[in-house]
Amino acid sequence: MSGIDALGDLRGKRVLVRSDLNVPLDGTPPTMGITDDGRIRASVPTIRELADAGARVVVTAHLGRPKGAPEDRYSLRPVAARLGELLGTEVAFATDTVGDSARSTVDGLADGQVAVLENVRFNAGETSKDAAERGAFADQLAALADAFVSDGFGVVHRKQASVYDVAQRLPHAMGGLVSREIDVLRRLTVDPERPYVVVLGGSKVSDKLGVIDNLLGKADKLLIGGGMVFTFLKAQGHEVGKSLLEEDQLDVCRSYLTRAEESGVQILLPTDIVVDTAFPSGDAEPHPVVVGSDAIPADSLGLDIGPESAVAFAAALSDARTVFWNGPMGVFEVGAFAEGTRAVAQALTTIDGLSVVGGGDSAAAVRTLGFDEATFGHISTGGGASLEYLEGKELPGITVLED
């Protein structure tokens, strides 16, 4: 797979860049505010490299999950404004993706200037399962450019028009962000330094089945927290009250526990849990109580790993040489249920080796809890893509770049 240098002299060329600018917003249009600009900041180096090379940079991306038609709350306008602030230059904004505004905006670019097109998911062809419909939209995107750079790692696991099909229609290259992501993930899957510890959290076991299945043969330890842990606890015979539970995954969890024991992989589950009688919402005051993981009351639900478990998880990470973490340990957005996630994040900052935060909510937690991102080995911009890579799945947006 070729990097940007393989595209040759870019001065005066229109370069379509697929970035990942899918950031969280709050408020209502037209005064939407960005609550975490991490993905925008991660996209800046490649965009700046292209602009510095004299390219006319045309950035395309999605935001949220619109249903193939424009929705004000999913407009990329505030994202384009923030990108301009980070680049230190004006960024043009097209109010559509492949229509009159897009064409005139691109035509108006001078060498080294940058434009952002409106949300690609405002066009039904972007996510269509029909190859012809996707292809027709990709044709329109490709007509705006002379070359294509794939730099949105968070979407490379999607076979979508702006990720996959457009790369088949233009000279293409891998951007620096995607290249770094792939290099780091290879270090997790090809002869990782040991001990190799994987920390998994988040809400559902079913979201992580493939990763657990694949890593049971690679990792030395699996630390499991978050909402997914309650299916494991139930599989061990413990009651979990009103906690999140996937009944249809109980046998799978039992099989993983058995396989781990047989293969010498340690699966560490929390021994205590922070519970409340209701999920935190609005201005309601939380009432956290710490209980044993085998003593969750019937009227309560688990919302974080407990302090004893936080210490145990940190200790299990202390001598690791390679760590991959995906998924918070609890409802970290609420202070009363953030300490388990904080403990894991803190432990990762002291790793003597490679520590990888696997994107998604884990990356958001790092920033929300105030950690210095530079203290982690790598913070991924793509949670789903990272997981699918570690499952051993083929990523369409990567394979299409192979020459």
Residue 102 structure tokens: 């897009």
Q: Is position 20 annotated in a ligand binding site?
A: yes
Catalytic residue among 152, 360, 382, 397: 360
The model's pTM is: 0.89
Residue 280's φ and ψ, nearest 5 degrees, are -65, 135
At 186, is the pLDDT very low, low, confident or very high (cuts 50, 70, 90)? very high
Residue with tokens 């249903």: 67
At 281, is the pLDDT very low, low, confident or very high (cuts 50, 70, 90)? confident
At 206, is the pLDDT very low, low, confident or very high (cuts 50, 70, 90)? confident
Tell me what percent of the residues of the chain surpass a pLDDT of 90. Answer: 85
For range 55-67, the mean pLDDT: 97
Q: Where are the beta strands (DSSP E) in 230-269?
A: 266-268
Residue 133 structure tokens: 């419909």
Identity at 108, one-letter amino acid code: G
Q: Is position 377 annotated in a ligand binding site?
A: no
d(CA 373, CA 4): 26
d(CA 14, CA 24): 29
Distances (CA, A) of 366 to 52, 58, 65, 298: 31, 30, 24, 32
| Least confident piece of the model among 113-122, 211-220, 227-236, 293-302 | 211-220
Catalytic residue among 39, 82, 221, 234: 39
For range 111-132, the mean pLDDT: 98
The yes-or-no answer on residue 187 being catalytic is no
Q: Is position 180 annotated in a ligand binding site?
A: no
Residue 389's φ and ψ, nearest 5 degrees, are -60, -45
Residue 83 structure tokens: 């990108």
pLDDT of residue 227: 95
Q: Is position 362 annotated in a ligand binding site?
A: yes
For range 335-340, the mean pLDDT: 97
Q: Is position 54 annotated in a ligand binding site?
A: no
pLDDT of residue 403: 67
d(CA 61, CA 48): 16
Select from 17, 76, 72, 5 the least CA-distant residue to 44: 17
pLDDT of 27 above 90: no
Q: Are 390 and 215 in contact (CB under 8 A)?
A: yes
Q: For residues 68 and 217, which has the higher predicted lDDT (pLDDT)?
A: 68
Task: Provide the 3-class DSSP secondary structure of residue 279.
Answer: coil
The yes-or-no answer on residue 135 being catalytic is no
Q: Which run of H or of E encompasses 207?
A: none
The pairing of strands 272-276 and 301-305 is: antiparallel
Q: Is position 158 annotated in a ligand binding site?
A: yes
pLDDT of residue 133: 98
Q: Is position 73 annotated in a ligand binding site?
A: no
At 360, is the pLDDT very low, low, confident or very high (cuts 50, 70, 90)? confident
Distances (CA, A) of 40 to 22, 154, 252, 339: 8, 12, 38, 28
For range 79-85, the mean pLDDT: 97
- Mean predicted lDDT score pLDDT of the chain: 95
The yes-or-no answer on residue 152 being catalytic is no
d(CA 64, CA 401): 25
Bridge partners, residue 197, by sequence = 221, 323
Contacts of 32 (CB under 8 A, 6+ apart): 25, 26, 73, 75, 78
Bridge partners, residue 33, by sequence = 26
Question: To the nearest 10°, the Cα dihedral for 395, 208, 68, 130?
Answer: 50
Catalytic residue among 77, 180, 204, 259: 204
Q: Is position 125 annotated in a ligand binding site?
A: no
The yes-or-no answer on residue 39 being catalytic is yes
Catalytic residue among 54, 84, 176, 384: 384
Task: Provide the 3-class DSSP secondary structure of residue 246.
Answer: coil
Contacts of 203 (CB under 8 A, 6+ apart): 226, 227, 228, 244
Task: Provide the 3-class DSSP secondary structure of residue 208.
Answer: coil
Alpha helical stretches, state H, 173-321: 176-189, 209-215, 229-235, 250-263, 307-317
Task: Provide the 3-class DSSP secondary structure of residue 268.
Answer: strand
Q: Which CATH number fits domain 4-175: 3.40.140.80, 3.40.50.1260, 3.40.1260.10, 3.30.499.10?
A: 3.40.50.1260
Per-residue pLDDT of 138-150, as tens digits, reads: 999 999 999 999 9
Select from 1, 398, 396 the least CA-distant residue to 160: 396
Select from 3, 400, 347, 372 the least CA-distant residue to 167: 400
Q: Is position 65 annotated in a ligand binding site?
A: yes
In the chain, where the domains are located: 4-175, 184-391
Contacts of 65 (CB under 8 A, 6+ apart): 74, 121
Q: Are 383 and 363 in contact (CB under 8 A)?
A: yes
Contacts of 393 (CB under 8 A, 6+ apart): 157, 210
Q: What is the CATH number of domain 184-391?
A: 3.40.50.1260
Q: Is position 378 annotated in a ligand binding site?
A: no
d(CA 98, CA 96): 6
d(CA 208, CA 264): 20
d(CA 148, CA 166): 8
pLDDT of 34 above 70: yes
pLDDT of residue 340: 98
Q: Is position 13 annotated in a ligand binding site?
A: no
Residue with tokens 């028009």: 161
For range 311-332, the mean pLDDT: 97
